[in-house]
Amino acid sequence: MAKILRMPSERDLPQGARRDFVEELWDYYRRAGRPTLQEIADAISADYDAFTASKETIRRAMLGKTVPIDGDVADALFEVFCKRSKTDPNEDRWPDSMDGSEPRRDWWRSLWSRALEEAPPTPVGPGSTSGWGSGGGWGTSAARSSAAVEEPPF
């Protein structure tokens, strides 16, 4: 059974261009009915002859660990989610806006471009677990970081 993919917390993915991109990606992912990573990868493979996207690439993008360098891959994610949710990628992103709007696709590309230019975030690690403040306590050395490593074991 596939693990449930969850939107990263602000602790794991702080505010910024990358988070804005991931929040938009998650909006389309939810509209699409939360397909599995395999379903997303299969849809990209079926719809695009020039490239594929692995489950790991998709997972890392969904968690904000990476931003697809290739705009075609970013667009493929967007288009697969739009297709599954029957969302027109060319309709206005904010149709009720009084000062004009832009198509969803243009807004998506803008978020992707800004996220790509932003340096990767440094997640905030957990507090000290040594007992007596951040310097350790009762002769213990400073607490080691217990932040989870997101790199695959290979």
Residue 52 has pLDDT above 50, yes or no: yes
Percent of the chain with pLDDT over 90: 58
Of 103, 121, 134, 101, the closest CA to residue 15 belongs to: 121
pTM over 0.75: no
Report the pLDDT averaged over residues 98-113. Answer: 87
**Confidence at residue 53, expressed as pLDDT on a 0 to 100 scale:** 87
Quickly state the pLDDT bin for 151 (edges 50, 70, 90).
low
Please write the tens of the pLDDT for every residue from 20-46.
Answer: 999 999 999 999 999 999 999 999 999
